[in-house]
Structure 1
């Protein structure tokens, strides 16, 4: 892979370099016959087609010239180039808004440089763990709605979850906002419609979380030397919810009255 492909996102700043580089891309792609459709068409990497559509070389040239390359596509894996892990210092700045698109790299960081393969080239379906990585990569590269350059599906979900935590938003409020936004966007949008679907989609990140019982009045944590206590040292409140099971019925698992969710910084 070339060390410098900044020309890919210099359509407006350096038109000559962009056009020269585009011709080198087309020449490379058409010579990788194993990655064509068999009749001379190649995958189009423009912002709309996103390597999902095969087209003739003239059509790809016209699409990319008019729309630009899909975000952060400096490794031409869909045209036959070996996948390469992209370290942070090689991230390309987007031509339109000047911001870094870090979400795809975040998924690569989680997966590790040796664990990614182009899913279109696998001889067998990926295992569930690998499929999660591919789903996250797709979410990182999928706009919230067609032609949206502001949010990807992944960036929208992570920012919504951040807003929920910072503002102590209830799940009901989160669901109502998600439903309203989804209805306001074009019909073929990728906006999740509920907190449950957002949390399910983000589960592929594999972020660890520990649940720690705490006093219902926020006096203390049942942690360390206090992990076996059944009532608060300060206010005397019970650690567990009252068990209202019928007399003689099978004993149910005791449920903490309140819990704290802790995200460790290290494994």
Structure 2
């Protein structure tokens, strides 16, 4: 089964290859479908503007973005200090506001630290960079530009950005896609349907999977992107809320 790119289905319905061939023959290809991102083609093309990267407009509204995410206003320092006392979200908000106002390096106004890191992560996703190559780029930038304000590793960058929300969860899965090791199966070492080992290592007899001494690597991992938080973001954003009605 593959997504059908005909005029009527528009990459929204999975069909057999024979059905897709018939649909394309009789109905034709979806006109605006030039970059085959739904069929394995990379989205990083020369037409980079189609992926919402405006290289001419580097002064993004970071403060507006943070206000949409957390529902706080950041008009004055006193308000931020007041909201910071009992609220964990306010602490995250204030930290991100600080990063959004911090210059990338002295006497450079085009990018804030937060803005630059978001752009780097966006390029990482579009270009399929590895975590190692991302860290190597951070090392190069710190070496080339004196006093540049950047984290040392990809992991530190992800920690800064994750407070913006839209995070993901990872669940170990059976290599044959029988079950997820979640809920009643969370602490199992093998699939109860196909008896396939959960782990890459040969020694999977230990029941204490939380022990650091017996730490193992899962044979397959599923990345789950929760829908609720993404719908909430669409309603919270001042740019998209009107389109959700």
Q: Provide TM-score, normalisation by structure 2.
A: 0.52
Ranges in structure 2 where 5+ consecutive residues have no aligned partner: 1-55, 211-215, 230-245
Would you say the 8 A contact 1:209–1:261 is kept in 2? yes
The equivalent residue for 1:133 is 93
The corresponding residue for 2:208 is 251
Aligned residue for 2:222, secondary structure, equals strand
Deviation at 1:123, TM superposition (A): 6.3
Structure 1 equivalent of residue 137 of structure 2: 177
Q: What secondary structure is seen at the aligned counterpart in 1 of 2:228?
A: coil
Show the counterpart of 2:224. 262
Does the CA-based 8 Å contact 1:212-1:222 persist in structure 2? no
Structure 1 equivalent of residue 156 of structure 2: 197
User: What is the distance in 1 between the residues matched to 2:92 and 2:72?
Assistant: 15
Q: Secondary structure at the match of 2:223?
A: strand
Q: Does 1:102 align with 2:61?
A: yes
Residues 131-167 of structure 1, C-alpha deviations (whole Å, 9 max, x = no match): 2111101112222112323322112112222233333
2:125 corresponds in structure 1 to 165
Distance 1:231 1:164, change over 3 A: farther
Greater relative CO (CA pairs within 8 A, separation 6+): 2
SS, match of residue 171 in structure 2: strand
Q: Once the 2 structures are TM-superposed, how far is the Cα of residue 206 of structure 1 from its aligned partner?
A: 3.4
- 1:266 is displaced (CA, Å) by 2.4
Instruction: Tell me how far apart the structure 1 counterparts of residues 121 and 192 of structure 2 sit (CA, whole Å).
Output: 31
Mark the runs of 5 or more structure 1 residues left unpaired by the alignment: 1-96
